Amino acid sequence: MRGPGLADSGHDDVLLAQIEAFKRRAPLLYFILIVNTVAVAVTHFSAAPRALTVYVPAAVIALIVVRMVRWQLRRHVQFSIEEARRNVRLTIVLGSLIGVALLVWALALYPYDLDTAKGFLTGHGHVVLFVGITVVSCVFLLMHVRAAALAIILIVVPPFCGYLFATARLVEIAIAINLLLVSGGMFYVVVTFCRDFEQMVRAKGELARLSQQNAELANIDAVTGLPNRRRFFAELYGVVTDSTGFAVVIGDLDGFKQVNDLYGHVTGDGVLKEIAGRLALVAPAGSCVARLGGDEFAILLRGAGLQDTAPQLCQRFIAACAVPVAVDHLTVHVGLSVGLSIAARDGNKPHDHYERADYALFRAKQNGRGRVELFSPAHEQAVRQTSRIEQTLKRADLDREIVMLYQPMIDACNGAVISFEALARWHSAELGEISPNVFIPIAERSELINALTRTVLRKALHDAAQWPAGVGLKVNLSVRDLTSSEQILSLMNIVRGSGVPAALVTFEITESIFADNLNLVQSSIAALKALGCSIAIDDFGVGYSSLSYIHHLAPDIIKIDRCFIADLCTDPVKAGIVKTVIELCQNVGARSVAEGVETLEQAEALRALGCSEFQGYFFSRPLAKESVTSFAVPAQACAV
């Protein structure tokens, strides 16, 4: 910041604020000048020559009126910075000229004294008063334009006071001293006022800039520079449903997590930036391309004819993302799955379309990734059905309606029953029999799954307490069970209070739980292990198989997904995978369980590969609790 001085600050905000302040005061300033001038001209009319009392004042007043009208007309005009600079300069020049004119005119009139009998004040007195009040008013009204205000003081006061001193009359000398003191005071006030004014304007500007920056940060995604989730929803809620039309596209990257895990977050961020750029490039003008979070993007398309164009556009988004991304000297491959909802005049709110697109995305992911799914009436039906099941499940008496079945795991060496997996069945009083493949994923969407898992564990342990000694129990856990420490504590308490040794209890978890919250999941698993329970990785091979997870979790058991077992005897690739997984289990000290063993041939092939245990229809379908004890017969001889 510059120190106080004659020159005005060149700061843009200050210039604009100065001209704004002056704009409002200019008409009043000119009005006061006119009144003061007319008053002196009238009182000196008879004593001084016409040139001084009529022509000069008339010319000055004409000039002032022109300026006054000009400012009056422009009082609502917003000046550009260039105009503001020009006008501030002009104000300084005109202010100085007015000062000179005032001084010269006052000095020219001073010798023409009036007949004191006509009033109590002499002509000299009126001129002094005129100079005094005019200078004070000018300085007061020009206060914001420091240079102009100070110029008037400096141009008028010292010469005028010099003139008064020169008269050598006591009254004039006293007035001159008075005037000098007052002017000195005004000089100081102007300088400090302007400094404070500048500071205030700059602070205001800084504040405006900060709040602008803040607003941007709150609406922009820091990684990609795209609008963020908040901004996307603001745009979405802003669309007028019945105007030109709109569509919501939600895209989720396929394989991004692996890139992040393998190469780290810096590379991951580079990929997100590149993908963001590609999506923005493909999106037509007027669309809003946003990053919702993680590897999820949303695009709000606007315009007519989207029924035809939006699906093609989605294909172009997918194609753009399928091109390998070069980042940090690496080339990485990701894909894009897309859910699309096109607004029709169906009375659905913008947010409904977001949810529909999100549902369609879920289906796109389920049906094989790298594709677009358009939200359809069939989806609408499925959503309704899901919500009906969810509502019914919420109200259900789980203790009564959930029934447990148990499927054995057979030792590959001797055919003995090692344990049973607890599989839930829901006999809904309202909806009838619902498959676990339907109600488990629905329960997993909310905390409903936690209550369900507790019920399952309680029931299964209650049944297992009756089984022959040494027969184990396997219970499935969901992500939400492992990401809630409260739930883990409840589960541990249920195990402790069951009378079944914790060493006989195994919790099955799928690889998908490693998608988020690895630390939380790890500490839950550590707590269960500390209690004495075992951990099995379920459906191995279909999720995010990562050797680092296996290393971190040190599972006791790995269950090879049944999709590898089905074609084991006909597909050498699948057989190779199974062989590798069994070897992996041997290397990390885990038992291998083959799921979905349906034929003797499969069992024999698996045994030859060194698989530890079998589970599947060939040995037994899931059994009712009454049949378990009779099934868990003593070990048969190893058939190999």
Q: Is 508 in the site for Ca ion (CB under 5 A)?
A: yes
Stretch that binds Ca ion, among 46-54, 210-218, 381-389, 588-596 (CB under 5 A): 588-596
- Contact status, residue 158 vs residue 176, Cβ threshold 8 Å: no
Bridge partners (DSSP) listed for residue 220:
227
Q: Which of Ca ion, ligand C2E, none sits in contact with 617, Cβ below 5 to 8 A by type? A: ligand C2E
- What is the size of the binding site for ligand C2E (CB under 6 A)? 20
Residue keyed to tokens 């003995």: 416
Q: Which of Ca ion, ligand C2E, none sits in contact with 343, Cβ below 5 to 8 A by type? A: none
Bridge partners (DSSP) listed for residue 252:
296, 337
Tell me whether residue 8 or residue 508 sits nearer to Ca ion (CB atom).
508
Taking CB atoms within 8 Å and a gap of at least 24, the contacts of 188-191 are: 190/139, 190/143, 190/146, 190/149, 190/150, 190/153, 191/4, 191/5, 191/146, 191/150
Residue keyed to tokens 């998908």: 512
Those residues with Cβ within 8 angstroms of residue 423's Cβ, 6 or more apart along the chain or in another chain: 404, 405, 406, 407, 436, 476, 622
Tell me whether residue 235 or residue 561 sits nearer to Ca ion (CB atom).
561
Cβ at position 553, least distance to ligand C2E in Å: 18
Tell me whether residue 160 or residue 614 sits nearer to ligand C2E (CB atom).
614
Residue keyed to tokens 């209890």: 505
In the region spanning residues 586 to 605, those forming contacts with ligand C2E, defined by CB under 6 A, are: 596-598
Binding string, 440-479, against Ca ion, x = CB under 5 A?
A: ------------------------------------x---
Binding string, 541-580, against ligand C2E, x = CB under 6 A?
A: ---------------------x------------------
In the region spanning residues 453 to 512, those forming contacts with ligand C2E, defined by CB under 6 A, are: 456, 476, 478
Q: Which of ligand C2E, Ca ion, none sits in contact with 524, Cβ below 5 to 8 A by type? A: none
Q: In what order do the strands lie in the sheet with 288-293?
A: 288-293, 296-302, 246-254, 335-342, 372-374
Binding string, 409-438, against Ca ion, x = CB under 5 A?
A: ------------------------------
Cα dihedral value 390, 395, 399, 404, nearest 10 = -20
Q: Sort 117 into a burial class: Cβ within 10 Å, 0-12 / 13-18 / 19+.
A: exposed
Tell me whether strands 613-614 and 591-594 are parallel, antiparallel or unpaired: parallel
Q: Which of ligand C2E, Ca ion, none sits in contact with 19, Cβ below 5 to 8 A by type? A: none
Q: Which of 27, 158, 311, 436 binds ligand C2E (CB under 6 A)?
A: 436
Bridge partners (DSSP) listed for residue 613:
411, 593
Q: Which of 616, 623, 628, 632 binds ligand C2E (CB under 6 A)?
A: 616
CA-to-CA distance for 224 and 264, rounded, in angstroms? 17
Stretch that binds ligand C2E, among 8-16, 50-58, 568-576, 614-622 (CB under 6 A): 614-622
Cβ at position 620, least distance to Ca ion in Å: 15
Cα 284 to the center of its chain, rounded Å: 23
CA-to-CA distance for 419 and 312, rounded, in angstroms? 52
Q: Is 228 in the site for ligand C2E (CB under 6 A)?
A: no
CA-to-CA distance for 353 and 339, rounded, in angstroms? 10
Bridge partners (DSSP) listed for residue 338:
251, 372
HEC sequence for 285-335: CCCEEEEEECCEEEEEEECCCHHHHHHHHHHHHHHHHHCCEEECCEEECCE
Q: Which of 36, 96, 407, 498 binds ligand C2E (CB under 6 A)?
A: 407
Bridge partners (DSSP) listed for residue 372:
338
Q: Which of ligand C2E, Ca ion, none sits in contact with 459, Cβ below 5 to 8 A by type? A: none
Binding string, 443-462, against ligand C2E, x = CB under 6 A?
A: -------------x------
Q: Which of 20, 352, 539, 556 binds Ca ion (CB under 5 A)?
A: 539
CA-to-CA distance for 395 and 316, rounded, in angstroms? 45
Amino acid at 209: R
Stretch that binds Ca ion, among 165-173, 314-322, 434-442, 505-513 (CB under 5 A): 505-513
Q: Which of 95, 245, 472, 622 binds ligand C2E (CB under 6 A)?
A: 622
Q: Which of Ca ion, ligand C2E, none sits in contact with 582, Cβ below 5 to 8 A by type? A: none
Cα 511 to the center of its chain, rounded Å: 29
Tell me whether residue 18 or residue 478 sits nearer to ligand C2E (CB atom).
478
Q: Which of Ca ion, ligand C2E, none sits in contact with 436, Cβ below 5 to 8 A by type? A: ligand C2E
For the chain, counts of helices (H) and of strands (E): 24, 17
Cβ at position 449, least distance to ligand C2E in Å: 7
Q: Which of 538, 549, 609, 615 binds Ca ion (CB under 5 A)?
A: 538
CA-to-CA distance for 166 and 470, rounded, in angstroms? 124
Q: Is 433 in the site for ligand C2E (CB under 6 A)?
A: no
CA-to-CA distance for 18 and 8, rounded, in angstroms? 10
Phi, psi of 633 (to 5 degrees): -80, 165
Residues that bind Ca ion (CB under 5 A): 476, 508, 538-539, 595
The residues binding ligand C2E (CB under 6 A) are: 407, 422-424, 436-437, 440, 456, 476, 478, 538-539, 562, 596-598, 615-617, 622
